[in-house]
Amino acid sequence: MRWISNQGYLLLLITSIAWVGNTIIGKGVTDIIPPVGLAFWRWALTLPIFLALAWPHLRKDLPELVRQWKILLLLTILSISVYNTFIYVGLTETSAINAFLINTSRPAMIVVLSFIITRERVTRLQIVGLTIALFGTMAIVSKGEPAVFLNLEFNTGDLWILAATGSWALYTVLLPRRPKVHQTSFLFGAVVLGLLVLSPFYGWETINVRPVPIRIETFGSVAYLAVLSSVLAYLCYNRAVELLGANRASITSYILPLLGTVLAIVLLGETFRTYHGVGFVFILIGIYLVARARKAK
Protein backbone atom coordinates (compact mmCIF):
# COMPACT_ATOMS: atom_id res chain seq x y z
CA MET A 1 0.00 0.00 0.00
CA ARG A 2 2.86 2.38 0.74
CA TRP A 3 4.32 1.68 -2.70
CA ILE A 4 0.98 2.25 -4.42
CA SER A 5 0.45 5.53 -2.55
CA ASN A 6 3.60 6.91 -4.20
CA GLN A 7 2.73 5.86 -7.78
CA GLY A 8 0.92 8.90 -9.14
CA TYR A 9 -0.06 7.53 -12.54
CA LEU A 10 -1.20 4.21 -11.10
CA LEU A 11 -3.40 6.17 -8.68
CA LEU A 12 -4.90 8.07 -11.62
CA LEU A 13 -5.66 4.79 -13.36
CA ILE A 14 -7.37 3.43 -10.23
CA THR A 15 -9.33 6.68 -9.97
CA SER A 16 -10.47 6.40 -13.57
CA ILE A 17 -11.57 2.79 -13.13
CA ALA A 18 -13.53 3.74 -10.02
CA TRP A 19 -15.13 6.74 -11.75
CA VAL A 20 -15.99 5.10 -15.04
CA GLY A 21 -19.25 3.76 -13.62
CA ASN A 22 -20.29 7.11 -12.19
CA THR A 23 -21.70 8.50 -15.43
CA ILE A 24 -23.15 5.13 -16.42
CA ILE A 25 -25.01 4.75 -13.13
CA GLY A 26 -26.01 8.40 -13.01
CA LYS A 27 -27.56 8.10 -16.47
CA GLY A 28 -29.04 4.67 -15.87
CA VAL A 29 -31.03 5.59 -12.76
CA THR A 30 -32.29 9.02 -13.84
CA ASP A 31 -35.87 7.67 -13.98
CA ILE A 32 -35.56 6.03 -10.57
CA ILE A 33 -33.43 8.20 -8.25
CA PRO A 34 -33.62 12.02 -8.30
CA PRO A 35 -30.19 13.67 -8.79
CA VAL A 36 -29.77 15.51 -5.49
CA GLY A 37 -31.00 12.47 -3.57
CA LEU A 38 -28.46 10.29 -5.37
CA ALA A 39 -25.65 12.68 -4.48
CA PHE A 40 -26.84 13.06 -0.87
CA TRP A 41 -27.09 9.35 -0.07
CA ARG A 42 -23.86 8.64 -1.90
CA TRP A 43 -22.00 10.87 0.54
CA ALA A 44 -24.11 9.88 3.54
CA LEU A 45 -22.93 6.30 3.10
CA THR A 46 -19.28 7.39 2.85
CA LEU A 47 -19.44 9.34 6.13
CA PRO A 48 -19.01 6.37 8.52
CA ILE A 49 -16.32 4.93 6.22
CA PHE A 50 -14.27 8.11 6.26
CA LEU A 51 -14.86 8.45 10.01
CA ALA A 52 -13.39 5.01 10.60
CA LEU A 53 -10.40 5.79 8.38
CA ALA A 54 -9.81 9.22 9.88
CA TRP A 55 -10.42 8.34 13.53
CA PRO A 56 -6.73 7.80 14.48
CA HIS A 57 -5.84 11.24 13.04
CA LEU A 58 -8.81 13.43 13.97
CA ARG A 59 -7.65 14.42 17.46
CA LYS A 60 -4.51 15.97 15.99
CA ASP A 61 -6.07 17.26 12.75
CA LEU A 62 -9.37 18.72 13.97
CA PRO A 63 -7.90 22.06 15.19
CA GLU A 64 -6.24 22.60 11.80
CA LEU A 65 -9.47 21.80 9.97
CA VAL A 66 -11.33 24.33 12.09
CA ARG A 67 -8.61 26.95 11.61
CA GLN A 68 -8.74 26.59 7.84
CA TRP A 69 -12.49 26.15 7.54
CA LYS A 70 -12.81 28.68 4.70
CA ILE A 71 -10.66 26.80 2.18
CA LEU A 72 -12.15 23.51 3.41
CA LEU A 73 -15.66 24.82 2.75
CA LEU A 74 -14.70 26.10 -0.70
CA LEU A 75 -13.14 22.79 -1.72
CA THR A 76 -16.17 20.97 -0.33
CA ILE A 77 -18.63 23.04 -2.33
CA LEU A 78 -16.62 22.65 -5.54
CA SER A 79 -16.24 18.88 -5.28
CA ILE A 80 -18.78 17.14 -3.07
CA SER A 81 -21.69 19.58 -3.25
CA VAL A 82 -21.49 21.00 -6.78
CA TYR A 83 -19.56 18.62 -9.03
CA ASN A 84 -21.37 15.37 -8.41
CA THR A 85 -24.82 16.92 -8.05
CA PHE A 86 -24.47 18.93 -11.26
CA ILE A 87 -23.35 15.79 -13.11
CA TYR A 88 -26.47 13.90 -12.02
CA VAL A 89 -28.73 16.85 -12.81
CA GLY A 90 -27.15 17.23 -16.25
CA LEU A 91 -27.54 13.55 -17.07
CA THR A 92 -31.32 13.86 -16.72
CA GLU A 93 -31.33 16.11 -19.79
CA THR A 94 -28.33 15.18 -21.92
CA SER A 95 -26.75 12.12 -23.49
CA ALA A 96 -23.71 10.19 -22.33
CA ILE A 97 -21.78 11.11 -25.48
CA ASN A 98 -22.25 14.82 -24.76
CA ALA A 99 -21.21 14.31 -21.13
CA PHE A 100 -18.00 12.52 -22.12
CA LEU A 101 -17.23 15.12 -24.79
CA ILE A 102 -17.67 18.03 -22.41
CA ASN A 103 -15.53 16.25 -19.82
CA THR A 104 -12.55 16.37 -22.18
CA SER A 105 -12.49 20.17 -21.77
CA ARG A 106 -11.38 19.76 -18.15
CA PRO A 107 -7.61 19.65 -18.82
CA ALA A 108 -7.77 22.89 -20.78
CA MET A 109 -9.74 24.47 -17.92
CA ILE A 110 -7.16 23.24 -15.40
CA VAL A 111 -4.27 24.63 -17.44
CA VAL A 112 -5.98 28.04 -17.78
CA LEU A 113 -7.01 28.20 -14.12
CA SER A 114 -3.54 27.08 -13.00
CA PHE A 115 -2.02 29.94 -14.97
CA ILE A 116 -4.54 32.50 -13.64
CA ILE A 117 -4.47 31.43 -9.99
CA THR A 118 -1.01 29.97 -9.40
CA ARG A 119 0.91 31.26 -12.43
CA GLU A 120 1.89 27.67 -13.17
CA ARG A 121 3.22 27.53 -16.71
CA VAL A 122 2.71 24.59 -19.02
CA THR A 123 5.47 23.20 -21.19
CA ARG A 124 5.16 22.85 -24.94
CA LEU A 125 5.38 19.09 -24.60
CA GLN A 126 2.43 19.10 -22.20
CA ILE A 127 0.40 21.19 -24.64
CA VAL A 128 1.22 18.80 -27.46
CA GLY A 129 0.35 15.79 -25.30
CA LEU A 130 -2.98 17.24 -24.15
CA THR A 131 -3.88 18.18 -27.73
CA ILE A 132 -3.06 14.72 -29.11
CA ALA A 133 -5.04 13.03 -26.33
CA LEU A 134 -7.95 15.37 -27.01
CA PHE A 135 -7.97 14.33 -30.68
CA GLY A 136 -8.01 10.69 -29.59
CA THR A 137 -10.99 11.22 -27.30
CA MET A 138 -12.84 13.16 -30.01
CA ALA A 139 -12.25 10.29 -32.45
CA ILE A 140 -13.91 7.86 -30.03
CA VAL A 141 -16.90 9.95 -28.97
CA SER A 142 -17.58 11.04 -32.56
CA LYS A 143 -17.15 7.48 -33.90
CA GLY A 144 -14.65 8.78 -36.42
CA GLU A 145 -17.19 11.13 -38.00
CA PRO A 146 -16.22 14.82 -37.63
CA ALA A 147 -19.70 15.81 -38.78
CA VAL A 148 -21.03 14.58 -35.42
CA PHE A 149 -19.65 17.72 -33.77
CA LEU A 150 -21.56 19.91 -36.19
CA ASN A 151 -24.83 18.24 -35.20
CA LEU A 152 -24.41 18.33 -31.43
CA GLU A 153 -27.02 20.51 -29.81
CA PHE A 154 -25.98 21.70 -26.38
CA ASN A 155 -29.03 21.81 -24.16
CA THR A 156 -29.58 22.68 -20.52
CA GLY A 157 -28.11 19.35 -19.46
CA ASP A 158 -24.91 20.14 -21.33
CA LEU A 159 -24.59 23.41 -19.43
CA TRP A 160 -24.94 21.55 -16.12
CA ILE A 161 -22.17 19.16 -17.18
CA LEU A 162 -20.00 22.08 -18.31
CA ALA A 163 -20.50 23.83 -14.97
CA ALA A 164 -19.62 20.60 -13.14
CA THR A 165 -16.47 20.22 -15.24
CA GLY A 166 -15.38 23.76 -14.43
CA SER A 167 -16.07 23.19 -10.75
CA TRP A 168 -13.84 20.10 -10.66
CA ALA A 169 -11.11 21.90 -12.58
CA LEU A 170 -11.09 24.69 -10.00
CA TYR A 171 -11.09 22.11 -7.19
CA THR A 172 -8.04 20.44 -8.71
CA VAL A 173 -6.14 23.72 -8.98
CA LEU A 174 -6.97 24.76 -5.41
CA LEU A 175 -6.45 21.32 -3.86
CA PRO A 176 -2.76 21.93 -2.97
CA ARG A 177 -4.00 24.70 -0.64
CA ARG A 178 -6.07 22.31 1.43
CA PRO A 179 -5.46 22.03 5.17
CA LYS A 180 -2.22 20.17 5.85
CA VAL A 181 -3.80 17.25 7.61
CA HIS A 182 -4.06 13.54 6.94
CA GLN A 183 -5.99 12.90 3.75
CA THR A 184 -8.73 10.91 5.48
CA SER A 185 -9.26 13.72 8.01
CA PHE A 186 -9.60 16.20 5.16
CA LEU A 187 -12.11 14.04 3.33
CA PHE A 188 -14.12 13.35 6.49
CA GLY A 189 -14.40 17.08 7.17
CA ALA A 190 -15.33 17.71 3.53
CA VAL A 191 -18.08 15.07 3.60
CA VAL A 192 -19.57 16.51 6.78
CA LEU A 193 -19.69 20.00 5.28
CA GLY A 194 -20.86 18.66 1.94
CA LEU A 195 -23.85 16.92 3.49
CA LEU A 196 -24.73 20.09 5.38
CA VAL A 197 -24.67 22.08 2.13
CA LEU A 198 -26.73 19.46 0.26
CA SER A 199 -29.32 18.94 3.02
CA PRO A 200 -31.65 21.88 2.22
CA PHE A 201 -31.59 21.08 -1.50
CA TYR A 202 -32.28 17.41 -0.77
CA GLY A 203 -35.20 18.38 1.44
CA TRP A 204 -36.63 20.65 -1.27
CA GLU A 205 -36.27 17.93 -3.91
CA THR A 206 -37.93 15.33 -1.69
CA ILE A 207 -40.95 17.57 -1.12
CA ASN A 208 -41.31 19.21 -4.53
CA VAL A 209 -39.93 16.64 -6.98
CA ARG A 210 -39.93 13.08 -5.61
CA PRO A 211 -38.32 11.17 -2.75
CA VAL A 212 -35.59 8.58 -3.16
CA PRO A 213 -37.37 5.22 -3.60
CA ILE A 214 -36.50 2.19 -1.50
CA ARG A 215 -35.54 -0.25 -4.27
CA ILE A 216 -32.75 -2.68 -5.03
CA GLU A 217 -31.46 -0.30 -7.72
CA THR A 218 -31.14 2.44 -5.11
CA PHE A 219 -29.04 0.35 -2.73
CA GLY A 220 -26.81 -1.02 -5.50
CA SER A 221 -26.21 2.35 -7.14
CA VAL A 222 -25.51 4.19 -3.89
CA ALA A 223 -23.17 1.43 -2.67
CA TYR A 224 -21.06 1.56 -5.85
CA LEU A 225 -20.90 5.35 -5.87
CA ALA A 226 -20.04 5.53 -2.17
CA VAL A 227 -17.36 2.86 -1.95
CA LEU A 228 -15.68 3.05 -5.36
CA SER A 229 -16.53 6.43 -6.91
CA SER A 230 -16.19 8.27 -3.58
CA VAL A 231 -13.92 6.67 -0.98
CA LEU A 232 -11.47 4.87 -3.25
CA ALA A 233 -11.46 7.44 -6.07
CA TYR A 234 -11.09 10.55 -3.91
CA LEU A 235 -8.28 9.06 -1.85
CA CYS A 236 -6.40 8.09 -5.00
CA TYR A 237 -7.09 11.32 -6.91
CA ASN A 238 -6.13 13.67 -4.09
CA ARG A 239 -2.89 11.78 -3.53
CA ALA A 240 -2.15 11.82 -7.27
CA VAL A 241 -2.57 15.60 -7.37
CA GLU A 242 -0.08 15.88 -4.50
CA LEU A 243 2.44 13.77 -6.40
CA LEU A 244 1.95 14.99 -9.97
CA GLY A 245 0.35 18.43 -9.81
CA ALA A 246 -2.96 19.61 -11.24
CA ASN A 247 -1.96 19.72 -14.91
CA ARG A 248 -0.71 16.13 -15.09
CA ALA A 249 -3.62 14.83 -13.02
CA SER A 250 -5.95 16.20 -15.70
CA ILE A 251 -5.20 13.19 -17.94
CA THR A 252 -8.00 11.34 -16.12
CA SER A 253 -10.34 13.26 -18.44
CA TYR A 254 -8.96 11.24 -21.34
CA ILE A 255 -8.68 7.91 -19.56
CA LEU A 256 -12.36 7.92 -18.56
CA PRO A 257 -13.86 7.96 -22.09
CA LEU A 258 -11.31 5.37 -23.15
CA LEU A 259 -12.24 2.99 -20.34
CA GLY A 260 -15.92 3.62 -20.96
CA THR A 261 -15.51 2.60 -24.58
CA VAL A 262 -13.55 -0.54 -23.69
CA LEU A 263 -16.15 -1.61 -21.11
CA ALA A 264 -18.95 -0.99 -23.59
CA ILE A 265 -17.21 -3.35 -26.02
CA VAL A 266 -16.53 -6.03 -23.40
CA LEU A 267 -19.76 -5.86 -21.38
CA LEU A 268 -22.31 -4.63 -23.90
CA GLY A 269 -21.05 -6.45 -26.98
CA GLU A 270 -20.43 -3.34 -29.07
CA THR A 271 -18.21 -3.76 -32.14
CA PHE A 272 -14.59 -2.63 -32.07
CA ARG A 273 -14.11 -0.31 -35.04
CA THR A 274 -11.21 1.51 -36.66
CA TYR A 275 -11.92 4.79 -34.86
CA HIS A 276 -11.61 2.97 -31.51
CA GLY A 277 -8.09 1.88 -32.40
CA VAL A 278 -7.12 5.31 -33.73
CA GLY A 279 -8.48 7.04 -30.65
CA PHE A 280 -6.78 4.53 -28.35
CA VAL A 281 -3.38 5.16 -29.97
CA PHE A 282 -3.74 8.97 -29.83
CA ILE A 283 -4.76 8.91 -26.18
CA LEU A 284 -1.86 6.68 -25.19
CA ILE A 285 0.60 8.92 -27.05
CA GLY A 286 -0.86 12.04 -25.41
CA ILE A 287 -0.74 10.55 -21.93
CA TYR A 288 2.85 9.45 -22.49
CA LEU A 289 3.92 12.96 -23.55
CA VAL A 290 2.17 14.59 -20.57
CA ALA A 291 3.87 12.11 -18.25
CA ARG A 292 7.27 12.85 -19.77
CA ALA A 293 6.87 16.60 -19.74
CA ARG A 294 8.65 18.60 -17.09
CA LYS A 295 7.02 21.57 -15.48
CA ALA A 296 8.29 24.86 -16.81
CA LYS A 297 10.21 26.92 -14.31
Amino acid occupying residue 151: N
231, part of any domain: yes
* pLDDT digits 0-9 by tens, 115-144: 788 777 777 887 888 788 778 777 776 767
273, part of any domain: yes
| % of the chain residues with pLDDT over 70 | 88
Round to whole Å and give the CA distance between 113 and 196. Answer: 28
Query: pLDDT-based confidence at 196, cuts 50/70/90?
Result: very high
Domain span holding position 170: 4-292
11, part of any domain: yes
pTM above 0.95, yes or no: no
Query: pLDDT-based confidence at 240, cuts 50/70/90?
Result: confident
DSSP secondary structure letter of residue 145: -
First-residue to last-residue Cα distance in the chain: 32
Given this model, what pLDDT does residue 295 score?
46
Quote the number of domains for the chain: 1
297, part of any domain: no
